[in-house]
Amino acid sequence: MRVLVGIALAVFVIFEGAMVVVFHSDGEIQWQRELTDIDAVFRSGKATEARDQLLAFGERWPKAKPTRGWNEKMGLYSGRAGDWQGAAKYYVTAVNADSRKPKLHALAGEALYKAGDKKGAEAMLAYEVREFDPGTGDLDRANFYLGVMLFEEKKLVPAFLHFQAIANREEWAAQLKPYYDEVNKTYLQPARKQAEVTS
């Protein structure tokens, strides 16, 4: 009789364990399906809708909310939706969840800058430049925004040192042009005119 009870108990434990695995797997499949659908909404150009769906996903699956991945996606979607305060908050949370992940500091720095927190932005961007190499980190983004902040403070030489680090990158040419044009208009053209007058 004890043997039969033992066998029944073993079968029950195995069955329960299998159910947990199946339930867990079904949960993971559901997560993946939902995230794939949300990514498709984002790729279709509906960043605000994707952000709202991902936020609702986080409410349904609260274990996702403290993770780097969820916060990084929320930062991306919020930024594309024009919500830089939200993007900054989520990117900073992602950095705090995994500070060794390349590119996160640059993304957080850009969002903080656009949200108006220049001190926080500078710390994040400088960390990206200092701690990651060009092969893994987003040093282009970090150099651009560090240059912009220095330019706004009229510290032109250090600003252009950062700009020169990305001057040969085609994808940054349009963003750099207004700064080069401003220096030409404000400093170089008047200096040339002054030189012509005095010669």
Q: What is the CATH number of the domain that holds 69?
A: 1.25.40.10
Q: Which domain holds residue 110?
A: 50-198
> What is the reported pLDDT for 188?
72
> What is the reported pLDDT for 191?
67
Q: What confidence category does residue 88 fall into, taking pLDDT thresholds of 50, 70 and 90?
A: very high
Q: Is residue 109 part of a domain?
A: yes
Amino acid at 167: A
Buried b (16+ CB within 10 A) or exposed e, 175-196: ebeebeeebeeeeeeeeeeeee
Please tell me the pTM assigned to this model: 0.80
Q: Structurally, how many domains does the chain consist of?
A: 1
Q: What is the mean pLDDT of residues 37-45?
A: 95
Q: Is residue 23 part of a domain?
A: no
Q: Is residue 13 part of a domain?
A: no
pLDDT at 154 over 90: yes
Q: Is residue 36 part of a domain?
A: no
pLDDT at 55 over 70: yes
Q: Is residue 125 part of a domain?
A: yes
Q: What is the mean pLDDT of residues 9-14?
A: 43
Q: Could you give the CA distance from residue 87 to residue 12 in angstroms, rounded to a whole number?
A: 48
Q: Is residue 165 part of a domain?
A: yes
Q: Is residue 38 part of a domain?
A: no
> What is the reported pLDDT for 8?
46
Q: Is residue 34 part of a domain?
A: no
Helix%, strand%, coil% for the chain, nearest 5: 80, 0, 20
Q: Could you give the CA distance from residue 145 to residue 159 in angstroms, rounded to a whole number?
A: 9
> What is the reported pLDDT for 16?
43
